[in-house]
Every structure is written in C-alpha cells, then in structure tokens.
Structure 1
Amino acid sequence: MKLANLETFVHLARLRHFGRTAKHLNTTQPAISSRLAALERTLGVQLIAREGREFHLTPAGHEALRVIEKMLGDFDDLKLGFTDPENIAVTLRIGAIDAIVQTWLPRLYDRLRQTYPGAQIEIVTDSTLNLLHHMKSGELDITFCLDPILEEGYRSFVVCSYAMSWVGSPKLVDGDHIYTVAELGAMPLITFQRGSPPYRMIAPYFQDESVLASQLSNSNSLPTMIRLAMDGFGVAAVPTIIVQKELATGDLVSAQVNKPFPPLAFIASYHPVPGSLLTERVAELARRTAAEFCADTAPGLAWVEHGSR
C-alpha cells in the first residue's frame, strides 16, 4: 500500500475536487484518479461515489478516511520526532484577519521563526469569508478569523475574545454623554463588510430597540474603519484593544453607551491533513501565544475562556 495513495485520498476527501487535489499535490488529474483506483483495489471497496462532476464518500470511504487520517497523523508525528526542528523545511500558510494581525500574530510569527527556523511562513490577511474559502480550497493551513469551519475533518476552537467599543472623532462623540441605542442609531455608522460576523451583530443590536441606522458605511478593512472614524465620518464598533493609542492621544473618543456591544470571539480553524506536519503544533502554539497576550493586556480588553478548546 503506497503512502502517496493514502495521502491522495485524504486530500481528495478534504478538497472534494480532483482538479484542486491535483494542483495541491503538484500532479495531474489522471494521476489522482489512478492513485484512488489503486487504493480501492487494495482495500477491495469503493471509496467514492461519483455523480457527474460531483462525488461523495461512500460509507466505506468515511470509515477508511477515519483510519487513514489517524495512520498518517501518527506517521507525521513519528517523522517530527526524528527531525531536528532547525531542519524542518515546510511552508506554513497562515490566514488572519486584521484584528489578529495587529495584536498577537507578530508574537506567534516570532516564536515560529525561533522554533522552526527552516520553515517558510506565508501570512495572508483578508476577511473571514475569504480566509475560510482559501482554507477549504487547500490554500491555507490554519486561519484565525471570526467563523469556524463546520465541515467534516476540520478542527476549530475559540482562541480569544476582545471587548468592543463604539468610537468616533471628538468632533462627533461627547465622551461625557451616555448614549442610548436610539442616539447611536441616529449617527452615521461605520461597520464591517456586509455578511461578516461583526456586521451580523449590528442589526440585532439596534433592532432590540426598534432602531435602524440612518447612515451606514461598510469596509472589509479594520484600519480603514478606524481612519474614517478618526476623520469624523461616523462612529464604529471596533475591538477596544486595537484603538488604545488613538484613545490615549484623543484622536478617538470612546462613546459611553447604555447597551454594550457584544465582544468578538476569534476562532482558529485547521485541517490536520498529511503533509502539514506542523499544523497541530502551530495551533497549540497560537493558543498559548494568544493566552499570554491576553494576560498581558489591561483587564476586560482581551481574554481566553477557560476550557475553550
């Protein structure tokens, strides 16, 4: 039984596409089909049922996937145990949203560089929606964003949570006034892009008081939102920890509100596929790094839920 055939089946089960699997493994679609056929002959069962261009795993395929993933995971652990960390020459592809990039991701990057100096590290900053798409298409090894991947084989956990504040220019926000939801709703609002997790929290926040924002601007960039708020174009609900400098200098003012905006939970997601030797270890290192970062911040700004993994 060839190792390449086992790895091919696991990647195919994850990506659910022969072309993407071939691209990911740097081979051809006929080679993927040939490896799958060889594995099915060896096991004596059909692993995949095709329906036109689509396919799904058979019951035998699901059982085989469970066993093969464990076999390959154990083999990866064995290889790592015999390998000097300095000689691990792999590519780590990390996806993260702005709020993570601007807080503890540099710490994680530094630790990865120190622990695995031979690894190549790629960091992609994008929206949650795009990061999850890249993850499912096999272009990323781990993501830190605002939604989990709930599909079979993926692992997700809440890595940390950040408190949120309504902030705006001192020309627009009176720091001594306590704003009602209705008063906020009457102001120009700057929010994250439509469909994003923070955007989905906006409507319920105002609908509880039967209030809708009169002016709404959207952006998929947290720095852009903060810049627009500083320039007086509206108020924005952003992670408080991100704007500590602007609040200290007076470029932004935190609006006191009688209804706090819910905190944001940030979620790590990954798929422990063969060949991604360090993904499990990166996830654990990220969990520890985020916890240490939260412990170093002022109380109430960032935290890790006990037993969140």
Structure 2
Amino acid sequence: MIKSRITLKQLEAFVCVVDAGTFRKAASILGTTQPNISTRIAALESVLGTVLMHRDAGSVRVTEKGTALLAAARKVLLAGETFLEVADRQDLIEDRLRLGVTELIACTWLHDFLRAFKGLYPGVRVELDVNLSAEIEKDLIAGQLDLALQTGPFSRQMDGSLPLGTYPYCWVVAPSLTPPATFAALFDGPVISHGRHTRASLGLADAARARGLAVNQIVHSSSLTSCVAMAVDAMGPALLPRQMVMDDIAQARLTEFTCEWLPDTLDVFARFDPKRTPHFVRAAAELAVDTAR
C-alpha cells in the first residue's frame, strides 16, 4: 500500500500551478492563498525528494522530472474523478469549467446548457467568456479555456471535437423598409453585418467587390445583438444568423427576404483537449450536443 504522505490537494496544486503559470493564479483558481499553494508544492517535493519546478520572478519553469510526473499527477486526479462518477456522486466534484462561447450561442441555448450542467455538477464553477471564435480558439490552444463552443473553421485541430450543428444566415429588414430587390440594391444604403474580420463579413465584401459595388456601405459591429437592434431600428438590411432573429421574424419586428447571395452556413463545435481536461469537460461537451439539438 502507498502511505498517505502524498495528498490529492498537493497533486492538484502541482497541476494547477503548471496550467495557470503562476502560484498566484493557481491560488485564485483553487480558492486558497498563495502561501498554501507554496506549502503544498514544497511538501510534495519534500516527500518525493525532487524539485518539480523553479520559481522565476512570478512565473514557474517545470523541471524535467516535474514534466514526467505531471502526466502521472493528471492521471491520479482523473482517477479520483472517475471514482466519484462510479459512485454517482458528481456533486462531490469541486472544480471550475473555463468556458468560451460565441455570441450566437450565448444568445440562443447557452442558458439552457448552463442550467443542465449545474444540475449535473453543482460543485463545478463556470467561468464564462463570450468572444469572437478566433479569439476563443487562441485561448483554447493556449490552455486558458477548458471548453469552447464555437464556429469553424479552425487554425488547429483539437482531439476533442463534437459537432453541434449548422446555422444558416439570412437577410432581414425592418417592416417599415422595402426589402432590396437585388444584391446590388442592398448597397443603396447601409448594410449591417457582423465584425469586419468574420467569415460572413469578409465574404460579403468579396461578393460586393466582385460585382463592382462599394463596400463602404457595410456597417460592421462586433456584437450580433447590436446588429439585430440596428436592423429592428430600420438602419438598413442586415445579414445575420437566422437563429439570432427567429423571434424577431415571428413577432414581425423583422422581415426575412431572399437575396442572390448568402455566406456559407456556420458550423458549430464543442472543442476541448482530452489530454489536459477533467472528465467533466467531455461530459459538458456531450451535454452541449444534447442542448443544441
């Protein structure tokens, strides 16, 4: 038998310091103090008789031995989580889920997802970041997010990736305005679209240039919610994901119209790194699949 000189809290502190990058951030994540984290790491190093990391001006450098032990520490922590899952005591899992979502998801089914996740893992705290998909991917690759619910395409593939569905775009206009009869007629006034560097807006600008139309009429907003509000306020026709404006169309605040051009549909995925994240992150991704349906 292994004597209980090494604790799960010590291993948790070790893994968290490496992932967070500093003792201060790890202490904040684990809800304790920086001296407590230092004490746990020092005690673990003392029992093992080896140095796991070097402290350098607020940051840490993991030693070669520490790197080898890091993977083993993750396995031990995952085994502890598995033990609670087998016992059907997910309520005893206390952790955090760093979740990145696009605004489209935040404005549609995110609240249903969060309620369902809270019911399954009441002890897991969700830290939410709503951002553009490109920024979410950067944070996911950097290890600053555990789970991303985002739109493709992606610059890097992730081992954990579950499709959440496709979301088509549509053209809408306020009922007080006459829907443009042609694509060219769209540009007789302001045309509302998402952020300048989003795939839909880039495609819209390319389609306009290909027809010899000026793109300075395109009004960009990094907020889809603001785009909807501008369309409802009759500032001009808007290119938006249909899921965002279904209620506005149903309640006659906006009118959908056809146009000769639409961007490709949005493909949405739940993405995570199964090598680094707890089991509940995959469970959250699978729950997102169910909720999105």
Which TM-score bucket, shorter chain as reference? 0.7 to 0.9
Q: What SS does structure 1 have at the residue aligned with 2:170?
A: strand
Partner amino acid for 1:108? F
Q: Distance in 1 between matches of 2:25 and 2:118?
A: 29
The structure 2 residue matched to 1:82, chosen from 78, 83, 87, is 87
Alignment of 1:151-170 (within 5 A): 155-170=160-175
Match of 1:126 among 130, 133, 140: 130
- C-alpha change, 1:227 and 1:136, in structure 2 (3 Å) is same
Residues in 2 aligned to 1:150 and 1:2: alpha-carbon distance in whole angstroms = 39
Q: 1:281 aligns with which of 279, 283, 289?
A: 283
Shift of residue 286, structure 1, vs aligned partner: 1.3
Q: Are the aligned partners of 2:169 and 2:265 in contact in 1 as well (CA < 8 Å)?
A: yes
| Structure 2 CA distance for partners of 1:92 and 1:227, relative to 1, 3 Å | same
Provide the residue aligned with 1:235 in structure 2: 237
Distance 2:66 2:191 in 1: 50
2:113 corresponds to which of 108, 120, 128: 108
Q: Does 1:12 align with 2:14?
A: no
- Look up the SS of the partner of 2:171 in the other structure: strand
Which residue does 2:3 correspond to in 1? none
**SS across alignment from 2:253:** coil
The answer to whether the aligner puts 1:32 opposite 2:37 as a matched pair is yes
267 and 200 in structure 1: CA distance in 2 versus 1, 3 angstrom threshold: farther
Indicate the larger mover: 256-265 or 153-162. Answer: 153-162
Q: 1:98 touches 1:126 (CA, 8 Å); kept in 2?
A: yes
Match in the other structure for 2:74: 69
Report the CA distance shift for 1:203/1:63 in structure 2 as closer, same or farther (over 3 A): farther
**What amino acid is aligned across from residue 234 of structure 1 in structure 2?**
G
Structure 1 residue 161 displacement after superposition: 2.3
- Tell me, yes or no, if structure 1 residue 245 matches structure 2 residue 247: yes
Letter in 1 for 2:130: D
Q: Secondary structure at the match of 2:77?
A: helix
Matches within 5 A, 1:45-56: 47-48=52-53, 52-56=57-61
- How far has the Cα of 1:228 moved from its partner? 0.9
SS in 2 for 1:251: coil
Greater Cα offset, 260-269 or 90-99: 90-99
How far apart, CA to CA, are the structure 1 residues paired with 2:38 and 2:118?
Answer: 38
Which stretches in structure 2 are left out of the alignment for 5+ residues? 1-5
* Residue aligning to 2:27: 22
1:261 partner amino acid: P
TM-score by length of 2: 0.73
Counterpart in the other structure of 1:223: 225
- Cα deviation, 1:71-130, whole Å, max 9, x if unaligned, reads 2112211122224456667666655444223433344345445545x5577584732377
Task: Give the aligned partner of residue 257 of structure 1.
Answer: 259
- The answer (yes or no) to whether the contact 1:24–1:138 under 8 Å persists in 2 is no
Percent identity among equivalent residues? 26
Closer, same or farther: CA 70–196 of 1 in aligned 2, 3 Å: farther
- Aligned partners of 2:58, 2:44: CA distance in 1, in Å? 21
Q: Which amino acid aligns with 1:266?
A: V
In 2, distance between residues paired with 1:226 and 1:91? Answer: 33
Is the partner of 2:288 in helix, strand or coil?
helix
Residues 146 and 277 of structure 2 are in contact (CA less than 8 Å); yes or no, is this contact kept in structure 1? Answer: no
Q: State the 1:143 CA deviation.
A: 4.0
Segment of structure 1 superposing worse, 131-140 or 197-206: 131-140
- Equivalent residues of 1:187, 1:213 under 8 A apart: no
- Is 1:146–1:197's contact at 8 Å kept on the other side of the alignment? no
Give the counterpart of 1:188 among 187, 190, 210: 190
Alpha carbons of 1:69 and 1:85: their partners in 2 closer, same or farther (altered >3 Å)? closer
Equivalent residue for 1:300? Answer: none
The count of corresponding residues between Structure 1 and Structure 2 is 287
Q: Return 5+ residue gaps in structure 1 as ranges.
A: 294-309
